[in-house]
Amino acid sequence: MELLRSHLSRVRIPEPTNRIYKNECCVSFDTPRSDGGLYVDLSSFLAFGKDYVGWNYEKTGNPVYLHIEQKIIPAPDDRPLKKPTILAIGVEGGFVNQEPEYEETHHIVILPDYIALQFPSVELPEKVRLSVDAILLSEGAERKEQLASWATEKKKSDYALLLEQINNNVIIPPSGWKCSKCDKTDNLWLNLTDGMILCGRRNWDGSGGNDHAFEHYREKKYPLAVKLGTLSADLEKSDVFSYPEDETVVDPLLAQHLAFFGIDFSSLQKTEMTTAEKELDQNMNFDWNRIQESGQELEPLFGQGYTGLVNLGNSCYMSSTMQVVFSTRSFITRYYAEQNLKSAFELAPADPTLDLNMQLTKLGFGLLSGKYSSPTHEVEELGHAKGASSVAKQEGIPPRMFKTVIAASHPEFSSTRQQDALEFFLHLLDQVEQTHARKAELDPSRSFKFFIEERLQCPSGKVAYNKRADYILSLNIPLTEATNKEQLEAYNKLKADKSLTEEEFTNHEIVRPRVPLEACLKSFSEPEEVHDFYSTALDARTTAIKTAGLTTFPDYLVLHMRKFVLEEGWVPKKLDVYIDVPDIIDISHMRSKGIQSGEELLPEKASNIDETKPIQFVPDEDIVSQLAVMGFNYLHCQKAAIKTSNIGVEEAMNWLLSHMNDPDIDDPIHYGPRDTTPPIDETSVATLISFGFQETVARKALKASGGNIEMAADWIFSHPEATSTSMDTDVPISSSTLAIDTKVPDGNGRYKLLGLVSHIGSSIHCGHYVAHVRKEGRWVIFNDSKVGASADPPLDMGYVYFFERSDG
């Protein structure tokens, strides 16, 4: 006790603003439940496992610690387990969290001799008691993992309370419903404004309806519809869809809205699934089962390199990416083989929880050492504990501190919303590169980096070369190159057969296009036309031919499959396609060799330009005349065409309608010095922002696409690297501004498939990500905390593929 009193100057009482760690070691994944418990420094409030607390004492000299230890309380063997009645967690009738109970003990420990004093004790100095009480009462800096409910919450519609219903003398019968525009008798929706009964949307596989309800909304703009087959006495379970909000909603006045059309819902019986129920049902479909290998007898794997990651709430995008990244030699070497936890801790600042190098080393140790990959047993089949089968599994490690650090400069990754695994991968490499700005030779992100060279040839025959750095090769999927066209044609005929019911159709096996990866790689290198290209040789806008190739081949080649495209109506759509990916690829033919003998470069500027003389950007007369015919002022029409870079009549008219009241709308047109960059329309920027794109990315895309919104959106999907925080949206990428980094690896173009990240779901911002990695000659599935030998890896369903250079 006297020794403790002599160290009271090193004991602090935490204030509300202090970050207190008491649930996880800051340099490892040890917890109070680990062997030896956890030691909380009573000066810095950092926590350390038993093997690491000595390092902190050596570094800081802080001698007094709160030792927290949790030991499991054995559960009775005859404890019954309730069988769930709904697919949900943590709600009434759902799965019950069967967490074991733990007994927690506390001691005050004085280093370096690990002298332990009982806590609580009235003999302890008041300052120590106050410090420990504050720590134990605090929530802890580590966010407690919360069980996420699987039950989707519906939002109240903004349109329900103000809905105007039209009296068309329509009375809806209690049965015998049929689409007003076709013969569909199922998947029928009642528009709550005019009482029209119409069929729902057609699904990608041909099932569903014929889109008549949606077409009716597009024509009339009547916002709400209810699915007739879901009506019953329990109106809360009815399916109401809001077209302008594009989601299932709650209509608090549904009973009143139904009564308007003579519907007595109390006598109706539910006959169809709601949208939410269909989504749950689709979670068990082929894709879900195939990618997760559900139903397969997977052999659980444990030990070095086989540690799972706990899902922190929609963090599978991060987990799947990091499992593949830490299977590469570059990251293994940098953050595990050549740097141990102690050296990283010694290099870290005062708070190692905020140091990316420390947290990457901690994550590498957690994934690769095998320390946290040991089997536990849990009940697999529901029922009573006696007789229930059990399966070996691992708990996995929670990457909370790593997520906090890596997301510090990216607010979206700090949230619990699902994110794009590819965007996260690029953000990770960007952050790693920044931390190695002064030690580039140690940077593991360089193993993914390469240079792309684009060659542009205008009709004059002269050429221009542009180079840019990248970490991923983003590939279009040419559906026209599918190898199973006959089967697809037969399947499409089946989908068009109106005599088949939805149930009969869904019993048939789904046929999807199979496109060889070779065709995707070929599409990257194929010549493409670049319209509205300004040629300095011709001093005019023309059409150029662009080809692309790689000037360097990275150690690890990452291929991104562009499965997400924009369909009509600006709706993101996921291509339903298989990619046939071989074990070995050779891209040697894709190497670009720069300017060739006999080629002549385009001049930097046109030779006949007098830059002191203003040059007119001429409005397109076709656009001007078509607008003038509509009754618009001719001068206004000219301005609209110029402001929208002569893109088209619709764009010019939209600009004109939104700028009719501009104070300078009637001023004469003043032509400034030549500027080959088209002006960016702010309404176009706002439109892209409304799609969910960042403003800087939207402006860059519009600049690259001449102001065309559709082309800009396609550009964003085609250039996911544009979201990287290190990209400068104002600096043109050209050979004059970007020099080849001689430190970037280069070698032969032969690669072997190392791993893939697959995605389940209709959007990159929802669904689930799973990783498959080749380890020790076999495929391994990493599905959050589950790790097992893969029985049937979905190699044809990847979203991002990782290839390793093969020297063989």
Q: What amino acid positions are annotated as catalytic residues?
A: 316, 768
Q: Dmax of the chain from CA atoms?
A: 97
- With beta carbons less than 8 A apart as the criterion, state whether 426 and 724 touch: yes
The SS3 assignment for 541 reads strand
Distance (Å, whole) CA 257 – CA 264: 11
Nearest residue to 757 via CA among 784, 729, 727, 724: 784
- The two tokens of residue 399 are 């990457």
- With beta carbons less than 8 A apart as the criterion, state whether 70 and 57 touch: no
What's the helix, strand, coil split of the chain in %, to 5? Answer: 30, 20, 50
Sign of CA dihedral 718, 724, 730, 732: negative
DSSP line for 263-312: --GGG----S--HHHHHHHHTTSHHHHHHHTTTS-PEE--STT---B---
- Give the H/E segment covering residue 731: none
- The two tokens of residue 157 are 């519609």
Nearest residue to 342 via CA among 67, 65, 54, 61: 54
Nearest residue to 753 via CA among 740, 767, 741, 771: 771
Using DSSP bridges, classify how beta strands 155-156 and 247-250 pair: parallel, antiparallel or unpaired.
parallel
- With beta carbons less than 8 A apart as the criterion, state whether 445 and 433 touch: yes
Q: What is the DSSP letter of 455?
A: E
- With beta carbons less than 8 A apart as the criterion, state whether 95 and 148 touch: no
- With beta carbons less than 8 A apart as the criterion, state whether 614 and 587 touch: no
Distance (Å, whole) CA 181 – CA 333: 65
The SS3 assignment for 152 reads coil
Sort 538 into a burial class: Cβ within 10 Å, 0-12 / 13-18 / 19+. Answer: middle
Sort 553 into a burial class: Cβ within 10 Å, 0-12 / 13-18 / 19+. Answer: buried
The SS3 assignment for 754 reads strand
Distance (Å, whole) CA 331 – CA 325: 7
Distance (Å, whole) CA 644 – CA 319: 44
